[in-house]
Structure 1
Amino acid sequence: MQYKIKCIGLLTSGGDAPGMNAAIRAVTRTAIFNNIRVKAIYRGYKGLIADEIVDFQTQHVSNIIQQGGTILKTARSQEFKTIEGRQKAYENMQKHGIDALVVIGGDGTFTGARIFAQEFNIPIIGLPGTIDNDLCGTDSTIGYDTALNTIIEAVDKIRDTASSHERLFFIEVMGRDAGFLALNSALASGAEAAIVPELETKEDQLKSLIQNGFRKSKNSSIVIVAESEITGGANGLAERMRIEHPEYDVRVTILGHIQRGGSPTAYDRIIASRMGVAAIDALMDEQRNIMIGIVNNEIVHVPFTKAIKDDKPLDQSLLGVLHVLSI
C-alpha cells in the first residue's frame, strides 16, 4: 500500500446476523482510536452505489452492542454484480475520500468484495457475519452461536408438545448448503436425529433413520432438518413419512427468520468485538482482501478466495455421537 489509511467505509451486506452491531461498534471505535475517519454505508453495496454514506462518530455506536440485526441496514444488490454498478460505487468512495472498506457479511458479500478489490485496487477487510457458519477459515461466524441458542430454546418448547401427544416432529432450521446449525442444535437439544445436506447425496438419511429403528424406545421424536433443497426440507420429509409410514403422527415446524433475530450471546459479542479491532489492525498493517477469522480462539487472516471457494467441512463424527445418544 502506497499510502496511509485515513478514512474507511463500513457496511453490512446479505442476511443479517446477531452480533453485527457489536462488530460495527468495534470497527468504528478502533478506527477513531487510531485517528482514522469512518464513513457508514447504509444498505450494503446498494447504498454504496446510491451514495447512502454518512460520517460516523463514536456516539453513533453507543448502546448497540446488545442489539440484534444491523443499524446500517442490509440489502442485496443486483446492480453491484455489474461493472457499471461497481464503477458507481468506486466513484462514491472517491467522492467521500474512502481509502478502504470493512464489509460484514457472508459468502455473497465476500465474493463481491473480492471482485471489487481486484478491479479498483481497493483494500478490503471482511468480517464473517452469517448464522450458517459456512465460511471456511474460521471456527465460528458472527451470529452462529446466537442462532444456535435460539433454535435450542424453540426445540425445548416443541418437545413438550411432542411428548404430550406422542408425535414425530420435523423441525426445519436454516442452512441451505451447510448442516452446522442442524447438527449442533440436534446434539444440544437432545434431538433424535439431524438431516444435513452434506450427507444427502451419499445416502437416503430418512430411510436410514427408519431402518435403524430410531423410535424403538420412544413415544415421541424430534428430527432437525436443514432447509436445503438437497434434504427436501421438513415438509418434504414429513410428506414422505405420511406416505411410507402412516403409523406415525407427524408434525412440521419451520423456525424461519426467528433464527436471525434477538440479542446476541456473550460469545457472539466477544468475537465480533475482537474481529472488529483486528480488521482495523489488519488495514494498518497493510493487509488487504482478507477475512478476519478465529481459529482455536486466535485471530487469523484468511484470503477471500479461501473463505468463499473452499467448502467448510462438517464434523461428521458428531452424527455418530448423536446416533449413540439418541437410543
Structure 2
Amino acid sequence: MARTLAVMTSGGDSPGMNTALRALVRVAAVRGVRVLGVEFGYEGLMEGRFRELTRPDGEGGPLVPEPELDASGQLGGTILGSARSQRFMTPEGRADAARRLEDLSGLVVIGGNGSLTGAHLLARECKTPIVGIPASIDNDIGCSASAIGVDTALNTIVEACDRISDTARAHRRAFIVEVMGRHCGYLAMAAAVSAGADAVLFREQGRGEADILQALEDLVRRNLAEGRTKRRVLVLKAEGVELPTPLLVSRLQERLKDLKGVEARGMVLGHLVRGGSPTHHDRMIAGRLAFAAVEAALEGATDLMVGWQSTVPGGQTTPDPYVKRYPLEQVLAETAALLDGSSPVTQRRVRMMESVQGVLAL
C-alpha cells in the first residue's frame, strides 16, 4: 500500500515555511511517498481540507512535487495558509482531526509553541505518527537553538534600523524601534547588537516605567548633548515591554523638551518583520529539519520535534549532526522555561546583554 504523508503550517507565519514544504515534498517524493498539504492549519485538518503536493511524472511515472512548489520555496508566508483554532483545543475537535489522519502514514506540523502544543495533544490521541518542525520568528521554541524564520526577521529588522539611522543622523533624533517578541525578547536583543543600537528594552529585564524613562532620558542627554559629535540614538524595544511605544516616546519627548533640536520618534515594525524572502540560513535550516522530519515520520516515530543545534540534554541524534529529535513534552516544558525566565538559555541571553550594556551606549 502506498504511503501518504500530510503536512501543515500553523500559527504565526515565518519566512522559510514554504522552503520547508518544498524540501519535505521533494524528500518524500524521492521515496515514493505521496504528500497532502493541509490548508489553514488545524481548522483545515478538522475539516479535511487536503490538497495534493505530489503528482506522477507523466503516465505512471515516479512521484514529483507539484510545479508551484519550485517557486514557492523562495517566498515568505505559507502557500497552505495558516489559522489559529479554538475548536481544535476541545476533545471533540481533536477527534475530528484524528479521524482525518486514520489512513495516513504521518503528519508533519510546521509552527511555533501553540502549533507544537496541538501536535503533542493530537499525538497522544491518535495512532498516526506526528512530528513537529519549529518555525517562529521570536526564537522562543525550546530544544532548538534557532527556528525557521528567525534569521530572516533579524535581517529585516537590521535593514530597517539602518534606514532609520540614516534619517535620525540627519536630524539629531532619538528613535525607539519596536519589534515583535511579546513573550521573548530575542529579536530585540540580537538586532540591537547587529544594528549598533545604543540600548535595548525587553520583557525579561523586568524594568518598570520610571526606570525605563530615566534610563532613556540619561542616554539621550549623554549622547546628543551640545558638543557631542554623535547625531542619533537608536533604541530597540521588544513588544513584550508593557509600556506602549507611542506613550513611551511621548513621555520621553516631554522630558527632553529643553534639549534644543533634539526629537524623540517611534517606529513599530510590527508584521513587516514576518514577511520577505527567507535568507540562506533559514532556507538551509528549513531543508535540513524537513529532511529529518520525513525520516522520523516514515520510521513511525511520533510525538516529537526535530530541533536545530540544541544543547539541551536528552535529544536523540540523527545522521545530521546539527539535528536532534526531542519528545514534544520536553520541548514544551523547555519552551515554558524560556518564556518564564527559568531556562539557562534565557538567563544566558540576559546576562550577555547586561555585559554589553555599556558598549551599546557609546
TM-score (norm 1): 0.91
Structure 2 CA distance for partners of 1:76 and 1:213, relative to 1, 3 Å: closer
AA paired with 1:114? H
Which residue pairs with 2:45 in the alignment? 48
Aligned twin of 2:248: 237
Residues 249-268 of structure 1: pairs in structure 2 closer than 5 A: 249-268=263-282
Q: How does 1:1-327 map to 2 (within 5 A)?
A: 6-57=3-54, 58-60=65-67, 61-94=69-102, 97-200=103-206, 206-207=212-213, 209-210=215-216, 213=219, 215-217=221-223, 218-228=230-240, 230-247=241-258, 249-295=263-309, 298-310=322-334, 311-312=337-338, 313-314=345-346, 315-316=349-350, 317-327=352-362
Q: TM-score, normalised by structure 2?
A: 0.83
1:177 match: secondary structure: coil
User: Structure 2 vs 1, CA of residues 283 and 202 (structure 1 numbering), >3 Å: closer, same or farther?
Assistant: farther
Deviation sequence 1:105-145 (CA, Å, 0-9, x none): 00000111111111223321111111111101111110000
Q: Deviations over 1:121-180 (max 9, x none)?
A: 332111111111110111111000000000111110011111111111110000001111
Residue identity opposite 2:323 in structure 1: I
CA contact (8 A) 1:17 1:130 kept: yes
2:105, 2:298 within 8 Å by CA — same for their partners in 1?
Answer: no
C-alpha contact (below 8 Å) 1:99/1:123 kept by paired residues: yes
Structure 1 unpaired stretches of 5+: none
Aligned alpha-carbon RMSD (Å): 2.2
Larger radius of gyration: 2
| Contact kept in structure 1, 2:8 and 2:110, CA below 8 Å | yes
SS at match of 2:197: coil
CA contact (8 A) 2:217 2:252 kept: no
- Counting matched residue pairs gives 321
Partners of 1:65 and 1:322 in 2: CA distance: 38
Letter in 2 for 1:69: G
Residues 75-94 of structure 1, C-alpha deviations (whole Å, 9 max, x = no match):
11111111111111122223
Shift of 1:305: 2.0
The 2-side partners of 1:245 and 1:200 are apart by 24
Mind listing any 5+ residue stretches in structure 2 that lack a counterpart? Answer: 55-64, 224-229, 311-320, 339-344
Alpha-carbon separation, structure 1, partners of 2:88 and 2:134: 20
Q: Quick one: which amino acid aligns to residue 235 of structure 1?
A: P
Instruction: Give me the identity figure in percent.
Output: 38
Instruction: Report the 3-state secondary structure (helix = DSSP H, G, I; strand = E; otherwise coil) of the residue aligned with 1:170.
Output: strand
Q: State the Cα distance separating 1:49 from its structure 2 match.
A: 1.2
Separation in 1 of the partners of 2:189 and 2:256? 24
**CA contact 1:5–1:284 (8 Å) conserved in 2:** no
The Cα of 1:43 is off from its aligned counterpart by 0.6
Deviation at 1:306, TM superposition (A): 2.5
Report the CA distance between 1:287 and its aligned residue. 2.1
Counterparts of 2:179 and 2:84, CA distance in 1: 22
CA distance in 2, matches of 1:242, 1:63: 47
